[in-house]
Amino acid sequence: MDRLLLLLPTTTYRTQDFIEAARTLGVDLVCASERPNTLEAQLPDRFLTLDFTDPDGAAAAVAEFSRAHPLRAVVGVDDVTAVAAAAIAERLGLTSSAAAAVATARDKFQMRECLAAAGVPIPRYRRLALKDDPFFAARGVGFPCVVKPLTLSASRGVIRANNVDQFIAAFRRIAALLARDDVSVTGDGAEYVLAEAYIPGVEVAVEGLLIGGELHTLAIFDKPDPLQGPFFEETIYVTPSRLPDEVQRRIREVTASACAGLGLAEGPIHGELRVNETGPWVLEVAARSIGGLCSRTLRFGTGVTLEELILRHALGRPIVSLDRERRAAGVMMLPIPRAGRLRAVHGETAARAVRGIEDVTITAHRDQELIPLPEGWQYLGFIFARGDEPAAVEASLRDAHARLSFQID
Partner 1 sequence: MSDDLKTKVQDLIDTMINPAVAGHGGFVELIDVQDNRVYLQMGGGCQGCGAADITLKAGIERLIKDELPEVAEVLDTTDHAAGANPYYTAGKA
- Nearest distance in Å: CB 257, partner 1: 27
Residue 232 within binding range of partner 1, rule CB under 8 A: no
* Cβ contact 108:262 at 8 Å: no
**CA geometry: angle 7, 152, 247, nearest 5 deg:** 95
Residue 5 within binding range of partner 1, rule CB under 8 A: no
- Does residue 148 come out as left (phi exceeding 0), alpha (psi in the -120 to 50 range) or beta? beta
CA dihedral 31, 37, 43, 49 (to 10 degrees): 60
The span from the CA of 217 to the CA of 3, in Å, is: 28
Residue 30 within binding range of partner 1, rule CB under 8 A: yes
Residue 14 within binding range of partner 1, rule CB under 8 A: yes
Residue 43 within binding range of partner 1, rule CB under 8 A: yes
Nearest to 151 by CA among 127, 135, 131: 127
Interface with partner 1 (CB under 8 A), residue total: 45
In the list 181, 246, 277, 367, the residue contacting partner 1 (rule: CB under 8 A) is 367
Residue 150 within binding range of partner 1, rule CB under 8 A: no
Residue 15 within binding range of partner 1, rule CB under 8 A: yes
Residue 124 within binding range of partner 1, rule CB under 8 A: no
* Cβ contact 192:334 at 8 Å: no
State the DSSP string of 352-380: HTSTTEEEEEE-SPTT-EE--TTT----S
The span from the CA of 42 to the CA of 38, in Å, is: 9
One character per residue 248-287, x = contact with partner 1 (rule: CB under 8 A): ----------------------------------------
The span from the CA of 91 to the CA of 99, in Å, is: 9
Please list every residue from 186 through 225 that binds partner 1, using CB under 8 A: none
Q: Give the range of 2-10, 235-243, 260-268, 400-408 binding partner 1 by CB under 8 A.
A: 2-10
Q: Which residues pair with 220 in a beta bridge?
A: 206
In the list 96, 104, 166, 378, the residue contacting partner 1 (rule: CB under 8 A) is 378
Residue 10 within binding range of partner 1, rule CB under 8 A: yes
Nearest to 270 by CA among 241, 254, 290: 290
Nearest to 49 by CA among 68, 36, 39, 38: 36
Neighbours of 52 (CB within 10 A): 24
Closer to partner 1 by CB, 376 or 390: give it: 376
Q: Give the range of 220-228, 268-276, 362-370, 383-391 binding partner 1 by CB under 8 A.
A: 362-370
The span from the CA of 108 to the CA of 150, in Å, is: 5
- Nearest distance in Å: CB 172, partner 1: 24
What is residue 243's three-state secondary structure? coil
Residue 42 within binding range of partner 1, rule CB under 8 A: yes
In the list 3, 19, 168, 230, the residue contacting partner 1 (rule: CB under 8 A) is 19
One character per residue 53-92, x = contact with partner 1 (rule: CB under 8 A): ------------------------xxxx------------
- Nearest distance in Å: CB 102, partner 1: 15
Residue 154 within binding range of partner 1, rule CB under 8 A: yes
Residue 41 within binding range of partner 1, rule CB under 8 A: yes
The span from the CA of 28 to the CA of 25, in Å, is: 9
Residue 118 within binding range of partner 1, rule CB under 8 A: no
Which stretches of the chain bind partner 1, using CB under 8 A? 8-16, 19, 23, 29-31, 33, 35, 37-39, 41-43, 46-47, 77-80, 153-154, 291-292, 333, 345, 362-368, 377-379, 381
